[in-house]
Amino acid sequence: MRSWRSAQGLRAAGVGVAVLGLMASGCGGDGGGAGADGKVEIRYSWWGGQERATLINKTIALFEKKHPNIKVKTDFQDYENFWKKFNTQASAGNAPDVFQNSVAFLRKYDDKRVLLDLSSQVKAGNLSMENFRAGLEKAGNVDGKLLGVPVGGNTFALVYNPAEYKKVGVTPEEGWTWKQYDEATEKISKNGKLAGDSGPGGIMYLYDLVLRQHDKAFFTEDGLGFTEADLKQWWTDNYDRTRSGVLTDPKKAEQVKPTSALSKDLSAGEFTWDNFLVRYTSETKTPLALAPVPTTDGKRTGQYISSLMLSGSARTEHPKEVAEFIDFMVHDPEVGTIMGYDRGVLSTTEQFEAYKPTGVSAQIAEYEKKVADNVEPITPHPAGADICEAAFLRIGTDVVMGKTSPEDGAKQFFAEAKTALAS
């Protein structure tokens, strides 16, 4: 890592999966009209576990109580199965009226004419884009269209073991550098039973931040914003640090999945989204904390606020009701108190101020307050970004395991990315 940082200068929030191609959809509608009771029915789908479903169903009951003319039919799956089902529905022109989405998929599905441009509903007064935190009101804007509305925000962080860092005399705080991170992880791996870090080599979002610190980016409007030589150096550094024991043995990390290597006390830190602290602390008795991403110059982290969003179907027959539903879900204070930080720190001030976080959630809120002044705009991901993310993780893992060389891995990634971004 040091050579990359001195010369030129990732686990993701949700690992992208290669999704099926979609047939282009028109702008008609097949969402169904009002029922015999005069109510309009809209379909709402999301990914997540049973706990998220329980919370969302409570918010839907609240919405239907306050909007008795609208009935919401629900469906949820785990991440991978959600996208498989969604692709089948969208290919048939039958996507849910409103659904959970993320920035990685906006351009992809807009290119396939699946997403509803909500701009007209904002103008009509059915959806407010006021009172969003940290510039999140812009997160769903792509090419002048409003394709998604954030329900929660998160940013990257180092989830770490404070006790282990204290032993080596390093405090990971705002403005700390990659040199300090390198020194800390090396000392931890030498002085204790833990590796210094779980291993960042395959985390696309972290590599993006490293690139941004050097005035580059993982994605640009034209494709990839870095070279094969850049990536070869990144993976060489990670391979060398893995072999020396500074980073967790990738075979051991694979064995404990889906639990993180950090939660299993295999490492003293792991780069991931800040709201993952909730999950990680539930997996271990070891106290954990959040630290900002290290910097090259002591100032710039390259961090941005990402988010889960709600999007509408371009084929819905009920754009007004879809907009009213989204508006309620992102602005109603009681919805905020119900959902908490399940999908990230609440995106609007109404909900952020209504929810009083405690414990781990309070740590996440405090962390986002500290980094909020230094976050940067996010670059909309191109169509095929999800396939690139999956390839980066897979090939990066092969490199640190020694299954392929950093040079061959970089060549393979660029070949696969070229195909994905051209499709």
Q: What CATH architecture does domain 40-152+308-359 belong to?
A: 3-Layer(aba) Sandwich (3.40)
Cis peptide before 258 (omega within 30 of 0): yes
Give the C-alpha separation, 184 to 179, whole Å: 9
In eight-state DSSP terms, residue 42 is E
Give the C-alpha separation, 286 to 288, whole Å: 6
Residue 272 confidence (pLDDT): 94
Domain 2-15+155-304+381-422 class in CATH: alpha beta
| Phi, psi of 75, deg, nearest 5 | -160, 140
Stretches in the chain below the pLDDT threshold 50: 1-32
Would you list the DSSP string of 313-365? BTT-S-HHHHHHHHHHHHH-HHHHHHHTTBTBEESBHHHHHH----HHHHHHH
Cα angle value 408/409/415 (rounded, 5°): 90
Residue 33 confidence (pLDDT): 56
Residues of the chain with CATH 3.40.190.10: 2-15+155-304+381-422, 40-152+308-359
Give the C-alpha separation, 124 to 137, whole Å: 17
Q: Which helix (H) or strand (E) holds 44?
A: strand 40-47
Please answer whether residues 206 and 271 qualify as being in contact, where contact means their C-beta atoms are separated by less than 8 angstroms.
Answer: yes
- pLDDT digits 0-9 by tens, 190-210: 987 899 999 999 999 999 999
Q: Which helix (H) or strand (E) holds 151?
A: strand 149-154
Give the C-alpha separation, 391 to 416, whole Å: 7
- pLDDT digits 0-9 by tens, 90-130: 999 999 999 999 988 898 899 999 999 999 999 999 999 99
